[in-house]
């Protein structure tokens, strides 16, 4: 019993003495922190998704106060969050460029048959390492749903071997786009009306051999566009959304039906 009491007394006493010492030291060496950082951190959604380009919500909050980062970079919180941060910082919020994820592939199991039967773990990164992926097209969505796993907002489903984004739920954080081993998910402006649904950069003949709904790089869209907004780069069409007005003429002309006009 005596031993226990001594032990308690010694450790407790040390703790008390050193605790008091630290309490005193924390007063002496106190560092004043800008209380706006805490306020901004409370205003942010706290998803720590990194869409703003900083390590997380707290890093973004510190960057706003210390380095003058723009207040409208949170694509998850959108305008309400930008407004409340602007209020804390006393600046104008400006426009928030809302983004949405878009899967540039329609190569589902019907149009782009599998090379082999895959029975490994359900992960696109693992699958992409196995003989160059399950599909003949080297740019195709692998359909194992790694993007679905990282999505914090349940906005992704995998349908018939291709990821599909629910634009209602998508916050534009870009987590899926960063994890995708095939870089098949692009972050596009939410306002965009016309989208290219393929990223196959093979030449026409082999592209259409590997997938029935593949861009063949025929440049028909490029010739049709009156606004210089769509170009074929590396045998696949790309839309420049700063120029695209959403007329949809390219979609009408596309012989493979790769370009589509979004509803609404």
Write the binding mask 135 to 174 for another protein: x where contact by CB under 8 A, - elsewhere: ----------------------------------------
- Residues contacting another protein: total by CB under 8 A: 16
**How far apart are the C-alpha atoms of 202 and 217, rounded to whole Å?**
9
Pairing label, strands 162-165, 230-233: unpaired
Q: Which of residues 28-47 bind another protein (CB under 8 A)?
A: 28-31
Q: Is 55 in the site for another protein (CB under 8 A)?
A: no
Cβ-based nearer residue to another protein, 8 or 131: 8
Give the interface segment with another protein, choosing from 16-24, 81-89, 186-194, 206-214 (CB under 8 A): 16-24
Minimum distance, C-beta of residue 16 to another protein, in the bound complex (Å): 10
Give the interface segment with another protein, choosing from 19-27, 199-207, 224-232, 248-256 (CB under 8 A): 19-27
Cβ-based nearer residue to another protein, 1 or 30: 30
- CB proximity list for 136: less than 8 A, separation 6 or greater: 112, 113, 115, 209, 210, 211
Minimum distance, C-beta of residue 249 to another protein, in the bound complex (Å): 47
Q: Is 18 in the site for another protein (CB under 8 A)?
A: yes
**How far apart are the C-alpha atoms of 217 and 104, rounded to whole Å?**
15
Cβ-based nearer residue to another protein, 61 or 259: 61
Pick one of 1, 3, 168, 205: the residue that binds another protein (CB under 8 A).
3
What is the binding site for another protein (CB under 8 A)?
Answer: 3, 6-7, 10-11, 14-15, 18, 21-22, 25-26, 28-31
């Amino acid at each position: 019993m005596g031993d226990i009491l001594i032990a308690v007394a010694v450790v407790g006493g040390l703790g008390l003495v050193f605790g008091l010492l630290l309490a005193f030291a924390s007063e002496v060496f106190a560092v004043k922190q800008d209380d706006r950082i805490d306020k901004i951190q409370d205003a942010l959604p706290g998803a720590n998704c990194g869409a703003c380009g900083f390590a997380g919500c707290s890093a973004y909050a510190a960057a706003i106060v210390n380095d003058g980062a723009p207040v409208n970079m949170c694509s998850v919180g959108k305008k309400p969050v930008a407004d409340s941060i602007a209020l804390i910082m006393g600046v104008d919020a400006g426009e928030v460029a809302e983004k949405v994820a878009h899967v540039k592939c329609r190569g589902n199991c019907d149009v782009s048959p599998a090379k082999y039967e895959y029975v490994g773990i359900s992960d696109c990164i693992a699958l992409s390492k196995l003989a160059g992926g399950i599909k003949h097209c080297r740019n195709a969505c692998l359909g194992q749903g790694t993007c679905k796993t990282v999505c914090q907002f349940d906005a992704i489903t995998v349908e018939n071997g291709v990821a599909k984004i629910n634009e209602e739920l998508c916050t534009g954080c870009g987590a899926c786009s960063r994890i995708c081993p095939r870089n098949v998910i692009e972050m596009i402006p939410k306002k965009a009306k016309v989208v290219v649904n393929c990223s196959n950069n093979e030449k026409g003949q082999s592209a259409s051999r590997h997938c029935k709904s593949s861009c063949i790089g025929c440049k028909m869209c490029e010739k049709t566009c009156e606004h210089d907004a769509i170009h074929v780069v590396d045998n696949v069409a790309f839309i420049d959304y700063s120029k695209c007005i959403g007329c949809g003429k390219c979609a009408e002309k596309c012989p493979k039906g790769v370009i589509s006009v979004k509803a609404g």
